[in-house]
Amino acid sequence: MPVLRALLALAVGDSREVTARLAGFRPADRVSAFVAAVCSLRALGPDADSATVLPPLRAAFDLAAHPDVAAFVSENPLFDPPATAASLGESLANLLVERGEFQEALAVYERLMGQYPDTHRYARAHAELVGRAGETAEALAKLDALREQEEAAGRHAEAEKTLETMVRIAPSHLPLRERLVDIHLKRGRLAEALRELFTLAQLLERHGRVAEAIAHLRRAAEIATLMGDWEKVEPIYGYMIRLAPEDIGLRHAAAATFVQHGRIAEATAQLQEVFRIARTQEDYDEAIAALHQIIALDPTDLTPYHRLGEILAAVGEYGQAERVYGRLAQLAPDDPAIKAKQAALAALAKRQL
């Protein structure tokens, strides 16, 4: 009778009545004890401290494992949400982890693994807790064996979850993250792949492996471009250029991507850097090509014409330089200095013939 009255009180939300009805009550059978423990637990509410929650939660979980209790629970849905061995065990394990009682939490997961061998999340949680306890190699070995088993059974989504757990245990393990990237891409999860590639680049940078970091970032840029996620494309190129600021190839790739998205100012800025680097390295062909590209992006800007004319004259290409100043004269017809330079270059070009 006290259990029935506690159930009725719980149904109407009268927590005090539940506590009063069950105070000092000692059920004679396991089913009544289980119902009483769950009623006590639910009456505590979400704000109860863990020390108060733990005794009824432990009791309910221990009782739920008995066949007669399990049968009663399956036939009589008294609680919403249902109070099963699985739900109670997960709650108990989580509470124990929060309290730092890892050994008991591991024991709870081991019991859940025995009761629900096909529910692999318990094996993952158990291994993750082993890893948190410092036994990283053991945890990874267990999870890798589980992942292989899942892959062999065609449970690819489960295998992916297992791999993600492995990455959480060993966040600096580069091969695991690379494998996770490949799986995300196979599943079409581009945002997740992008995030992992960025993390990989950061890890590789810390290890001084800049070329590999850039390779991953290039891949990330391709994915972000494919997704049309401009907010990610620009910072990815910014990261690559920070790692290798004198890499002309990177600057060209960034400029091409910026043009593709209509970001002309950003593309021009990259090409101006290409010109600067090439001129410093005395790579005049590259410098001239960069200026031609800049002019193509904005034919009305006079500055790149001046630079192009000067560098062409410096390498002895007087005829080409004269034509550049001829174009400048059309854009700025009232500038006598431009006309004077054009005339001087025309004379030099004539002497070359």
Domain assignment present for 22: yes
Which CB contacts under 8 angstroms, 24+ apart, belong to 282-287?
Answer: 284/311, 284/314, 284/315, 286/248, 287/311
> Percent of the chain, pLDDT > 70?
97
Q: Which of 2-11, 64-73, 238-247 has the lowest mean pLDDT?
A: 2-11
Token digits of residue 10: 């719980």
100-145 tens-digit pLDDT: 899 999 999 999 999 999 999 999 999 999 998 889 999 999 999 9
Mark which of 117, 148, 170 sits at the end of a domain.
117
- Helical ranges in 45-118 per DSSP H: 50-64, 67-75, 85-98, 102-115
Q: Can you give the pLDDT at residue 1?
A: 61
In a domain? residue 126: no
Task: State yes or no: cis peptide before 81, omega within 30 of 0.
Answer: yes
Provide mean pLDDT across the span 306-322. 92
Which residue is listed with tokens 């025995």? 114
Note whether residue 181 is domain-resident: no
Q: Is residue 131 domain-resident? A: no
Distance CA 271, CA 256 (A): 10
Q: How is residue 273 written in tokens?
A: 């850097």
Distance CA 298, CA 271 (A): 12
Residue 146: predicted pLDDT? 93
Among candidate residues 117, 149, 167, the one where a domain is terminated: 117
Range of the domain at 67: 1-117
Residue 136, pLDDT score: 92
What tens digit of pLDDT does each residue of 27-63 get? Answer: 778 888 888 888 788 888 778 888 988 998 999 999 9
Q: What is the DSSP string of 105-131?
A: HHHHHHHHHHH-TT-HHHHHHHHHHHH
Contact between 35 and 7 (Cβ < 8 Å): yes
Which residue shows structure tokens 């001087």? Answer: 344
Instruction: Determine which of 166-170, 209-213, 272-276, 344-348 has the lowest per-residue pLDDT on average.
Output: 344-348
In a domain, 82, yes or no: yes
Instruction: Give the residue from 101, 117, 133 where a domain finishes.
Output: 117
222-234 pLDDT per residue, tens: 999 888 888 888 8
Tell me: pLDDT of 167 over 90: yes
Percent of the chain with pLDDT over 90: 60
Q: Is 66 inside a domain boundary?
A: yes
pTM above the 0.75 mark? no
Q: What total of structural domains would you count in the chain? A: 2
Q: Is the residue at 143 inside a domain?
A: no
Give the whole-angstrom CA distance, residue 352 versus residue 284. 20
Q: Which residue has the tokens 């539940």?
A: 18
pLDDT at 18 over 70: no
pLDDT band at 7 (very low <50, low <70, confident <90, very high): low
Mean pLDDT of the chain: 89
Q: Is 262 left (phi over 0), alpha (psi -120 to 50) or beta?
A: left
Q: Indicate whether 269 belongs to any domain.
A: no
Three-state secondary structure readout of 268-295? HHHHHHHHHHHHHCCCHHHHHHHHHHHH
Look at residue 21 in the predicted model and tell me its pLDDT. 73
Name the pLDDT band for 353 (thresholds 50, 70, 90): low
Segment holding 225, helix H or strand E: helix 210-227
